[in-house]
Structure 1
Amino acid sequence: MKAFKLENEPKIETGFKTPENYFENFSVSLLEKLPQNEPKTISLFARNRKTFIAAAAVLVIALTVPIVNKYVTKSKELDEATLETYLSYQSNLIQYDLIHELDTNDIKNLDKNIALGDDTIEDLLSSNANIEHLILE
């Protein structure tokens, strides 16, 4: 094989050449090619006024609904099921604490609501095997 030396071989020309004074006159020629009149600008608000108003209304409603929902007054009264569930899951609460908190009006209201006849009480006592426990309470 023959020895290959880069310095001795003829060089190949690239084929790309820049015209004379290209970089000196580049900015002037570029400015000549640009259009002289400036384009007309259209405002976003003027073009789609109805669309902008509708989008603003939706945005206001979307931001207002959670705030209004948070501050709407809810009913302060408890229903019976919620109160009964709360009291049943309180482990440190016994019936004597509840009885101690009742006043005479509450006891009268309880008497009106509970309508037990003698037959109902007799059936309850006869069907319950733990009568002594009920009598002591």
Structure 2
Amino acid sequence: MKEFKLNNIPKIESGFKTPDELYFENFSVNLLNQLPKKEPKTISLFQKKKSIIMMVAAVFVLALAIPSLIKNASKRNELDTITLENYLSYQSNINQYDLINALDEEDIKNIDQDIELKDQTIEDILISNNNIEHYIIE
């Protein structure tokens, strides 16, 4: 390897050169001349109309959507009677006496309705149901 001494001549020139002194004196003037000139901002009349139309459309969509959302929300909170009956019938730790004790007077009045069943309807239910012994025992 060759020895490298900083004080020896010829030295390697760098690739960079500084411009003449006028460059630094006129730099700010040249830079400002190259910048684009400010033009006044123009606002289209149709732009305001578009935003107003979009706001009216959004209010219209909300007005149509709110009743359906309220209707769907109320349906989700209600229990389906068939689901409730199936749940109560398959629970082994709940019997008819527990249900009777849980009823209020108002619930009993709601249950106490005159239901007219024809003999043919009762026969059809008993024939189609295979738990006849269960109903006879209770």
TM-score by length of 2: 0.52
**1:28 pairs with 2:29:** yes
Question: Any idea what SS the aligned residue of 2:39 has?
Answer: coil
Q: Using a 3 Å threshold, how does the CA distance of structure 1 residues 39 and 134 change in structure 2: closer, same or farther?
A: closer
- Name structure 2 gaps, 5 residues minimum: none
Question: Any idea what SS the aligned residue of 2:24 has?
Answer: coil
**1:42 pairs with 2:42:** yes
Q: Using a 3 Å threshold, how does the CA distance of structure 1 residues 80 and 12 change in structure 2: closer, same or farther?
A: closer
Q: Give the Å deviation of 1:17.
A: 2.6
**AA in 2 matched with 1:106:** D
Q: Give the Å deviation of 1:8.
A: 0.6
Distance, in Å, in 2 between the alignment partners of 1:88 and 1:2 is 100
Question: Any idea what SS the aligned residue of 1:120 has?
Answer: helix
- Name structure 1 gaps, 5 residues minimum: none
Q: Give the Å deviation of 1:23.
A: 1.9
Aligned to 1:81: 82
CA RMSD of aligned residues (A): 4.5
Aligned to 1:108: 114
Q: Give the Å deviation of 1:58.
A: 4.7
Aligned residue runs from structure 1 range 1-137, under 5 A: 3-13=3-13, 14=15, 16-34=17-35, 38-43=38-43, 46-60=45-59, 68-72=67-71, 74=74, 80-88=81-89, 92-96=93-97, 101=103, 102-103=108-109, 106=112, 108-109=114-115, 112=116, 114-116=117-119, 120=123, 131=133, 134-137=135-138
Q: Which of the two has greater helix per residue?
A: 2
Question: Any idea what SS the aligned residue of 1:40 has?
Answer: coil
Q: Give the Å deviation of 1:19.
A: 1.7
Distance, in Å, in 2 between the alignment partners of 1:30 and 1:134 is 100
May I ask how many residue pairs the two structures share in their alignment?
Answer: 126
Q: Give the Å deviation of 1:61.
A: 5.4
Distance, in Å, in 2 between the alignment partners of 1:86 and 1:10 is 100
Q: Using a 3 Å threshold, how does the CA distance of structure 1 residues 84 and 23 change in structure 2: closer, same or farther?
A: same
